C-alpha cells in the first residue's frame, strides 16, 4: 500500500467564523498495481467471483482504467454516481460492488436498501463530504429556516437527510431555476465553486457552504492559459467544481457525462480537460484519434498535493476488489431512518428529472 497524507482545508459558514480554517486529514491508502501476469489471473478470479456471488460491478469514471474495463466486460457499468446507483437499482444482481468513493456506496444503498453494497475500501472519501460534517450542517440549516436546502450528491447520507433536494451537477441549474421561479431562497452545500457558478447562471438568492474538491480546486489559470497558447485549436472542457478563473476559460462547462459527450461530439482534435484525469480513459476510448491533455495543476500556488487525480478514487484497485469479494467485508450500511429521509431529497430530483425529460445518463456529477 502506498500512503499519501491529504490535508483538506475548509472554512465554512457553519463553523461560525468564516475566516477560520479547519483542517481535516485523511490517509489515502492506494493499493499496489499488480504485475501484468498477476493482473490477468486477478481479473479472471474477480470475474468468477462476481458470477458466483450474483454481484455486479459499477465504477465511476474517475477510478483506474482496469476497474472501468472490468465493469463493462462483466455486464456492469461505468458512469457518474447517480447513474451508478440507478443501474444497481435496475440490475437484478443481489450484490452491488461500488468502485468509487463512500457517498456513492451510500447512495447506492439508500436507493437499494434490500441489496448488499460492497466497496473495495470504505475509507475512500471525498473532500466535499468530509468538509460538510452533518452536525455543523444541520446547525447551519437551522439558523436559516427560511431557505430551501439543496445539497450536491457529494455528501453523507445524514446531510442528504437534512436536505430538501439533492442535485447532481447537470441538473442543479434547472432545479435552482425552478426554485427561484417559486420565489425560494436557497441554502447550498457543499461545493462553493459549483454553488457560485449556479448562482451566477440563475441569479438566485443562494447562501453557500464553503467546501471544495481537492482535485478541481488545484487547476491553475496562468498555466492553463500557457497550455492554451501552446495548443491554440484545443477546446477546453471544465467541470464546474473548478474555480471561477478556470471556468472563465472554458469552451464547455459540464458534469462528467456532459464533458465526455462534448469530447465525442465536438469537431476539435485536441482537448484540455479540467477534471479528474480518470475521465480520460473513457474519452480516449470513445475518440481514439483525438488528443486529450490534462489541465495543469502545477504553477504559482501549487502545493505538494496538487495533482489531477483524486486520492480517494485511487484507493480502488483490483487487489482490494478481489479481497472484498473473497471475504465479503466492506459492506455499506446506512441507518434505515436516515436512509429513508435521504431518499426523499434524492427522489425529488429523480422526479424532477423525469418531468423535464432529463434521462439518468445525463444527470452527471463529480
Catalog residues that contact ligand SF4 under the rule CB under 6 A.
62, 101, 126-128, 154, 213-215, 276, 310, 312-313, 366
The torsion of the CA quartet 339, 104, 214, 14, rounded to 10 degrees, works out to -10
Task: Give the gyration radius of the chain's Cα atoms.
Answer: 20
Least distance between ligand SF4 and beta carbon 37 (Å): 31
Q: Which residue, 77 or 103, has its beta carbon nearer to ligand SF4? A: 103
Q: Are 158 and 139 in contact (CB under 8 A)?
A: no
Retrieve residue 345's grid coordinates. Answer: 431529497
Shortest CA distance to 308 belongs to which of 238, 241, 244, 218?
218
Quick one: angle between helices 318-327 and 65-73, nearest 10? 50
Nearest residue (CB) to ligand SF4, 242 versus 362: 242
For ligand SF4, give the closer residue by CB, 43 or 279.
Answer: 279
CB of 182 to ligand SF4, least distance (A): 29
Tell the smallest beta-carbon distance from residue 14 to ligand SF4 (Å).
19
Cell of 3: 500512503
- Write the DSSP symbol of residue 340: H
Q: In whole angstroms, what is the distance from residue 273 CA to residue 259 CA?
A: 9
User: In terms of Cα–Cα distance, which of 89, 126, 190, 156 is closest to 334?
Assistant: 156
CB of 3 to ligand SF4, least distance (A): 17
Q: How far is the CB of 275 from ligand SF4 (least distance, A)?
A: 8
Q: Quick one: which of 117, 143, 105 has its CA closest to 13?
A: 143
Neighbours of 319 (CB within 10 A): 17
CB of 241 to ligand SF4, least distance (A): 6
Whole-number minimum distance, CB 53 to ligand SF4, in Å?
26
- C-beta of 85 vs 93, nearer to ligand SF4: 85
If the CB atoms of residues 111 and 126 are measured against ligand SF4, the closer one turns out to be: 126
Of 215 and 272, nearer to ligand SF4 (C-beta) is 215
Judged by beta carbon, residue 175 or residue 279, the one nearer ligand SF4 is 279
Cβ at position 342, least distance to ligand SF4 in Å = 18
**Cβ(346)–Cβ(107) below 8 Å:** yes
* Residue 113: how many other CB atoms lie within 10 Å: 13
Q: Give the span between the Cα atoms of 256 and 275, in whole angstroms.
A: 8
Helices (H) and strands (E) in the chain, counts: 15, 14
User: Least distance in Å: CB of 314 to ligand SF4?
Assistant: 9
State phi, psi for 320 to the nearest 5 degrees.
Answer: -75, -25
* 166 neighbors 180 (Cβ within 8 angstroms): no
Name the residue nearer to ligand SF4 (CB basis): 62 or 140: 62
Please tell me the distance from the alpha carbon of residue 50 to that of residue 62, in angstroms, as a whole number: 21
DSSP 33: P
Distance CA 79, CA 211 (A): 24
Least distance (Å) from ligand SF4 to the CB of residue 100?
8
Q: Which is nearer to ligand SF4, 62 or 87 (CB)?
A: 62
Cβ nearer to ligand SF4, comparing 93 with 154: 154
Amino acid at each position: 500500500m502506498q500512503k499519501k497524507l491529504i490535508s483538506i482545508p475548509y472554512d465554512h459558514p457553519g463553523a461560525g467564523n468564516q475566516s477560520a480554517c479547519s483542517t481535516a486529514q485523511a490517509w489515502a491508502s492506494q493499493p499496489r498495481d499488480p504485475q501484468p501476469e498477476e493482473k490477468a489471473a486477478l481479473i479472471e478470479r474477480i470475474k468468477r467471483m462476481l458470477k458466483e456471488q450474483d454481484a455486479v460491478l459499477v465504477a465511476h469514471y474517475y477510478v483506474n482504467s482496469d476497474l472501468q474495463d472490468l465493469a463493462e466486460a462483466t455486464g456492469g457499468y461505468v458512469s457518474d454516481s447517480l447513474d451508478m446507483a440507478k443501474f444497481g437499482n435496475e440490475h437484478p444482481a443481489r450484490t452491488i460492488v461500488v468502485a468509487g468513493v463512500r457517498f456513492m456506496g451510500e447512495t447506492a444503498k439508500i436507493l437499494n436498501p434490500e441489496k448488499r453494497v460492497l466497496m473495495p475500501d470504505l475509507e475512500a472519501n471525498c473532500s466535499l463530504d468530509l468538509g460538510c460534517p452533518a452536525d455543523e450542517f444541520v446547525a447551519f440549516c437551522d439558523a436559516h429556516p427560511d431557505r430551501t436546502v439543496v445539497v450536491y450528491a457529494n455528501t453523507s447520507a445524514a446531510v442528504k437527510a437534512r436536505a430538501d433536494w439533492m442535485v447532481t451537477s447537470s441538473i442543479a441549474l434547472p432545479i435552482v431555476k425552478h426554485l427561484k421561479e417559486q420565489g425560494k431562497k436557497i441554502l447550498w452545500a457543499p461545493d462553493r465553486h459549483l454553488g457560485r457558478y449556479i448562482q451566477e447562471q440563475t441569479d438566485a438568492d443562494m447562501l453557500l457552504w464553503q467546501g471544495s474538491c481537492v482535485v478541481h480546486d488545484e487547476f491553475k489559470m496562468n498555466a492553463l492559459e500557457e497550455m492554451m497558447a501552446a495548443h491554440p485549436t484545443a477546446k477546453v472542457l471544465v467541470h464546474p467544481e473548478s474555480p471561477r478563473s478556470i471556468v472563465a476559460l472554458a469552451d464547455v462547462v459540464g458534469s462528467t457525462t456532459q464533458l465526455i459527450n462534448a469530447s465525442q461530439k465536438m469537431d476539435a482534435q485536441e482537448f484540455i480537460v479540467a477534471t479528474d484525469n480518470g475521465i480520460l480513459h473513457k474519452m480516449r476510448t470513445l475518440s481514439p484519434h483525438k488528443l486529450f491533455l490534462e489541465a495543469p495543476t502545477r504553477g504559482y500556488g501549487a502545493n505538494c498535493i496538487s495533482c489531477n487525480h483524486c486520492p480517494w478514487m485511487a484507493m480502488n484497485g483490483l487487489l482490494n476488489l478481489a479481497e472484498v469479494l473473497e471475504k465479503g467485508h466492506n459492506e455499506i450500511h446506512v441507518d434505515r431512518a436516515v436512509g429513508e429521509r435521504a431518499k426523499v431529497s434524492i427522489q425529488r430530483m429523480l422526479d424532477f428529472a423525469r418531468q423535464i425529460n432529463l434521462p439518468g445518463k445525463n444527470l452527471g456529477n463529480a
